[in-house]
């Protein structure tokens, strides 16, 4: 993969497609988790 070739780590964001009424998560909690992952990947505080 490209990430392997350049020595980078691939990160995954939750596409929210699997969210349903039985899930413990809601839209905002999933988006907050995605934001946290983006901040971590970009080195933001």
Residue boundaries of the structural domains of the chain: 2-42
Q: What is the mean pLDDT of residues 22-43?
A: 92
How far is residue 45's CA from residue 16's CA, in Å, rounded to a whole number? Answer: 24
pTM over 0.85: no
Residue with tokens 């933001």: 44
Assess contact for 16 and 32: CB atoms under 8 A. Answer: no
Of all residues in the chain, what percent carry a pLDDT higher than 70? 98
Under the banding of pLDDT at 50, 70 and 90, the label for residue 19 is confident
How far is residue 22's CA from residue 4's CA, in Å, rounded to a whole number? Answer: 37
Under the banding of pLDDT at 50, 70 and 90, the label for residue 45 is low
């Amino acid at each position: 993969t490209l990430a392997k070739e350049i020595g980078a780590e691939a990160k995954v964001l939750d596409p929210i497609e699997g969210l349903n009424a039985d899930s413990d998560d809601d839209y905002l909690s999933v988006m907050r988790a995605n934001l946290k992952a983006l901040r971590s990947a970009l080195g933001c505080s």
